[in-house]
Amino acid sequence: MRRGGTWIQRWRVPFGFASAAVFMVLAKPNPMTLLIGAVVSLLAILFAGLFLGIYFPVMRVEASTLAELFGGDYEKYKEEVPLFFPRLTPFRASETGKVRFDGDLYMRYREYRAAMGLLAAWGVLLVKTYYLK
């Protein structure tokens, strides 16, 4: 990939902010739509719980079957690759120690802005719901 990436890689965040701004201007929230959104969110959490409750045991059975079939090769693979949830750090085959979360990098790359943006968006929707009718 060339330096700087493709145009969509360079512009995805500004497009996202522009889309959010348009949504905030055009949104007409009211208590009922906020309640519907909360119910949909709870249903999504319930679905995720059911999915994990069904799929995770199946994956464990498959893992034991693979261990029987491939022995040591699978055991090495299993140590390097998580069963279900993706790893949060880059894979390094020669890694001897654990890579930990680095708060300095979090602050340097301003990752906290995403959480602040989400809270600001919720705040705007709440203000529009109750004060700007």
As for how many domains the chain has, the answer is 1
Q: Is residue 39 part of a domain?
A: yes
- Report whether 27 contacts 125 (CB < 8 A): yes
Kindly state whether residue 2 falls inside one of the protein's structural domains: no
Assess if residue 1 is contained within a domain: no
Classify residue 93: in a domain, yes or no: yes
CA pair distance 131, 82, nearest whole angstrom: 48
User: If we measure between CA atoms, which residue out of 60, 94, 67 comes closest to residue 80?
Assistant: 94
pTM of the entire predicted model: 0.41
Q: What is the pLDDT along the chain (133 residues), one digit of tens a residue?
A: 445 567 777 788 888 888 888 888 888 889 999 899 999 999 999 999 998 899 888 988 999 999 999 998 898 888 888 887 787 777 666 555 566 788 888 888 888 888 898 899 999 999 988 888 6
In terms of residue numbers, what domain contains 47? 7-130
In a domain, 61, yes or no: yes
